[in-house]
Amino acid sequence: MTGRLKQIKFVLTKVLEFFLIVAVALLVLDVVWGVLTRYAVGQQATWTEELARFLLIWVTLLGAAVAFGTKGHLGVDYFVQQFHPEAQRLMAIVSNLVVVFFAIAIFIYGGCQVVGGALAMEQVTPSLGWKMGHVYLALPVSGVFMLMFALDNLVDSMGPVEGTKGEDGSQGFSGGNGQRQIDGEAN
């Protein structure tokens, strides 16, 4: 089952990356068009700045989710690498639990509150006439992806600790009861 989940994660990451490539390309074209209309026509198209802002919101939030999912985000792990492998594992578990909490509380729950409020107030964008709730959907959508990637990282960090070996040379880790486990058997 884990292999199937990894495959789903891989496909979702590729879909998100493709969406981000398209969104960044649209963002560049939009900004270039805004500059051209400003200098060639003398007046910038009114919708270009607004579209650029909304594309940047989506690119930033979904890009952060992809970076987290591929472990491509900036991290200072020098000090963590100095710890014992068991402590490194504990730090990974705690940090992933913190990400799970923030993904649920801020991005998903908070984002849904913002989307619901914007849709209830019927806020629309001035130039494009889009509902602001649809623009704010970037928060819960990116939160769902961050949660999914954080849970995957959490499961990975609960596996065997790298660098610890049993007496027979097999990989092992310390179980929750303090006993050393080798290949699933308590010793």
pTM (predicted TM-score) = 0.78
pLDDT at 133 over 50: yes
Looking at the chain, the whole-number percentage of residues with pLDDT higher than 70 is 85
- Please report, for the chain, the start and end positions of each structural domain, with discontinuous segments joined by +: 2-162
Cα–Cα dist 160/96, whole Å: 16
Give 111-125 pLDDT, tens digit per residue: 999 999 999 999 999
How many angstroms separate the CA atoms of 118 and 168, rounded?
Answer: 61
- Mean pLDDT across the stretch 154-183? 53
Does pLDDT of 176 surpass 80?
no
DSSP string, the chain: -HHHHHHHHHHHHHHHHHHHHHHHHHHHHHHHHHHHIIIIISS--HHHHHHHHHHHHHHHHHHHHHHHHTT-S----HHHHTS-HHHHHHHHHHHHHHHHHHIIIIIIIIHHHHHHHHHHTT-B-TTT--BHHHHHTHHHHHHHHHHHHHHHHHHHHTSPPTT-B-TTS-BEEE-TTS-EEETTEE-
- What pLDDT was estimated at residue 158? 85
Q: Is the pLDDT of residue 23 over 90?
A: yes
pLDDT in the model for residue 161: 64
Q: Give the relative orientation of helices 46-69 and 2-36 as an angle to the nearest 10 degrees.
A: 160
Instruction: Dump pLDDT digits (tens) for 61-98.
Output: 999 999 998 888 877 778 888 889 898 899 989 999 99
Q: What is the pLDDT of residue 3?
A: 80
Number of Cβ within 10 Å of residue 121's Cβ equals: 11
